[in-house]
Amino acid sequence: MRKVLWFGTIMILLFSTILVGCNSSGSSKIRIATDATWKPFEYVDDNKQIVGFDIDVMNAIAEKENLNIEFVDVPFDPLLAGMAQGTYDAAISSITITDNRKKDMLFSDPYFVAGQMVVVQASNTTITGIDTITGSVGAQIGTTGASEVEKVPAATLKIYDEIGLAFQDLMNGQINAVVCDNPVAQGYVSKNSDKLKTVGGLFTSENYGIAVAKGKTDLLNKINAGIKAIKDEGLIDELSKKWLQ
């Protein structure tokens, strides 16, 4: 009698676990990580919605490939760690494709080209580009901007969880410069032209890709197909005009 009851209990628990597993993914939604602090690519608007260039790109890909997606807002450094651990199915967050990152995750075909840029206070006349930055320089943790600052002997990297905090410190005179992707840099400068300016122009060329957890090659293939489809339609150019100009 105990054996029968024990077997029945095991079957009930097993069935319950299966049901919980199915429901916990939100009807098998594909979890897309993004750090919504990188305006105009991904940020939270006044209506508390995650919006931006990358978000529109991912939504367009999902529509083309019938992907049921949900965005998960997570800071950039934990985002990369989560992708390496398979916590998320994919990530779109202005992620530069690098050989080092390829060790931990798959990457889609490139969908956007950006570059690093130096921003200083408008009154600064001594820093003219990446080679002349000195002292404390801000960048977001885990970014290629932070890696570039570390290459400059006279610069001391100060890392931030959010790039907006770095620009705030720059305007307050607490750091000498900020290094980040050019659309983000230009966005902050355009809104604070009396306080900030870019110097030296672009000094890198970087391809953004959509990161995909290792082992999810089927998802990667669908994302690549979606990227090709929206590129062929000219949608990437349309979204660039909408968000970046």
Considering the domain boundaries, does residue 5 fall inside one?
no
pTM of the model: 0.84
For residue 6, is pLDDT > 70?
no
pLDDT greater than 70 at residue 18: no
212 with 95, same domain? yes
Give the total number of structural domains in the chain. 2
Same domain, 44 and 61: yes
Same domain for 42 and 104?
yes
In a domain, residue 91? The reply is yes
Q: Are 107 and 216 contained in the same domain?
A: yes
Q: How far is CA 234 from the centre of its chain?
A: 22
Express each pLDDT in 100-133 by its tens digit: 999 999 999 999 999 999 999 999 999 999 999 9
* CA distances to 106, 114, 118, 179 from 202, in Å: 27, 9, 8, 11
Whether residues 97 and 211 fall in one domain: yes
Q: Give yes or no: residues 104 and 215 share one domain.
A: yes
pLDDT of 9 > 50? The answer is: no
Identify whether residues 128 and 183 lie together within a single domain: yes
**What are residue 119's phi and psi, to 5 degrees?**
-120, 135
Predicted local confidence at residue 229, as pLDDT: 98
Is 144 in contact with 101 (CB distance < 8 Å)? no
Q: Does one domain contain both 218 and 197?
A: no
Integer Cα distance of 148 and 85 in angstroms: 26
Residue 16 has pLDDT above 70, yes or no: no
CATH number of residue 57's parent domain:
3.40.190.10
Summarised one tens digit per residue, pLDDT across range 205-237 is 999 999 999 999 999 999 999 999 999 999 999
Structural domain contains residue 1: no
Closest CA to 132 of 169, 179, 182: 179
- What is the CB-side half-sphere exposure of residue 23 using CA atoms within 13 A? 6
- H or E segment and range at residue 9: helix 2-24
Same domain, 83 and 196: no
- Is residue 168 pLDDT above 70, yes or no? yes
DSSP-derived secondary structure letter, 132: G
Report pLDDT digits (tens) over 62-89.
Answer: 999 999 999 999 999 999 999 999 999 9
In a domain, 222, yes or no: yes
The mean of the pLDDT values for the chain is 90
Q: Is 22 helix (H, G, I), strand (E, B) or coil?
A: helix
Residue 138 pairs with which residues in a beta bridge? Answer: 158, 178
Residue type, position 205, single letter: S
Its domain, for residue 124, covers 116-204
Same domain, 101 and 43: yes
Q: What is the model's pLDDT at position 20?
A: 35
